[in-house]
Amino acid sequence: MSEQASIFAPMRYFLRIRYKGTAYHGWQIQQNAHSVQAEVNLALSRILRQDIDTIGCGRTDTGVHADDFYLHFDVETPIAETKRVLNRLDTMKISGIQFRELFEVNEHAHARFDATERAYEYRILRERNPFWDGLGHYFFGELDIVAMNTAAAMLLGKKDFVAFSKAHTQVFTNICTVRHAAWTEQNGQLIFTIRADRFLRNMVRAIVGTLLEVGQGKRSADSIPEILAKGNRSDAGMSVPACGLFLTEVIYPETILGQSLQNESEGK
């Protein structure tokens, strides 16, 4: 960085993307693995002609998809034409990644820590369809959807979800507040939607696996409170495959998404 540039505070931007996780080892950069973050960092660095290190709104595991994902990064000078940068990102045709929106935020805005809510969907495919290969988990057999929704309702509220978390993860708390959890049937698919202020690693996939066991009659719907109370991962069901999991929405305060909302209202 030049001496002149160093006297200016960096500018922070949010970038909104979506990606198909099939060919990636998750969002986060890893040694000897292909990640979404590595691709995005490289693309931004080439276009903006400076080293760009992004911070995502969370981490998705290998094979997990994101229909709505935010990241932030800093630059030394303002980006004069964000639309032009988006167009250049699009012309790079990075496999499985779409660049949707780029806008300036205040210097303290944080893609991960400022998110107030996230939503995930898990898609169970009830019939074979080649167009959905890699985008859902095929599951055959009878399922009691009423019982599964009864069990899902018992997840609501502020609770300790360590029983549904991958072991030995470094988090400051296992407490999450689940605001919505329900199954719906749509076009030959069974879709589980869950919204919460935060999620633990592997949490949604472990919950879905447990609820499927309820649907099969392998456990009762009222076993969920006991699983939560005991806090043992071995008491919950097996985790379902990553291919059916989608991050579908990330919510931020309007104070952060002000420029994005303005662009939307102006049709930009």
pLDDT confidence of residue 131: 85
Question: Active-site positions?
Answer: 61
Q: Residue 27 corresponds to which amino acid?
A: W
Predicted confidence at residue 259, as pLDDT, reads 60
* Rounded Cα distance, 268 and 154, in Å: 42
**Which tokens is 195 given?**
């919204």
Partners of 14 in the β-ladder: 72, 103
Distances from the Cα of 88 to the Cαs of 92, 132, 237, in angstroms?
A: 7, 29, 45
Q: How far apart are CA 106 and CA 194, in angstroms?
A: 30
Amino acid 142: pLDDT: 92
Domains 5-113 and 117-248 share a fold: yes
Give the per-residue pLDDT at 31.
85
8 Å CB contact between 99 and 33? no
Report, as ranges of residue numbers, the positions in the chain whose pLDDT lies below 70.
1-8, 168, 170, 258-268
Look up residue 218 and give its two tokens: 């392998």
The CATH architecture assigned to 5-113 reads: 2-Layer Sandwich (3.30)
Side chain identity at residue 61, one-letter code: D
Instruction: Report pLDDT for 263.
Output: 60
Report pTM.
0.91
Question: Which of the 8 DSSP states describes residue 40?
Answer: H
Angle in degrees, 0-180, between the axes of helices 145-153 and 203-215, rounded to the nearest 10: 140
- What pLDDT is recorded for position 166? 86
DSSP letter assigned to residue 230: H
Q: Check residue 268 and give its pLDDT.
A: 56
Q: In what helix (H) or strand (E) does residue 261 lie, and over which residues does it extend? A: helix 258-265
Residue 63 CA to residue 20 CA, distance in Å, equals: 8
User: Is beta strand 11-19 parallel, antiparallel or unpaired with respect to 97-105?
Assistant: antiparallel
* Rounded CA separation 222/139 (Å): 23
Cα–Cα distance list, 106 to 52, 205, 260, 263 (Å): 18, 34, 12, 16
Domain layout of the chain by residue ranges: 5-113, 117-248
Spatial distance between the Cα atoms of 27 and 21, rounded to a whole number of angstroms: 8
Query: What are the distances in angstroms from CA 262 to CA 98, 104, 253, 255, 258?
Result: 21, 12, 14, 11, 6
**Of 54, 69, 59, whose CA–CA distance to 171 is shortest?**
59
Res 266: pLDDT: 57
Closest Cα partner for 38 from 23, 53, 48, 50? 53
Q: b or e along 225-237 (b: 16 or more beta carbons within 10 Å of the residue's beta carbon)? A: eebbeeeebebbb
Q: What's residue 8's pLDDT?
A: 62
Q: Tens of pLDDT along 13-65?
A: 999 999 999 999 999 998 889 999 999 999 999 999 999 999 999 989 999 99
Yes or no: is domain 117-248 CATH 3.30.70.660?
yes
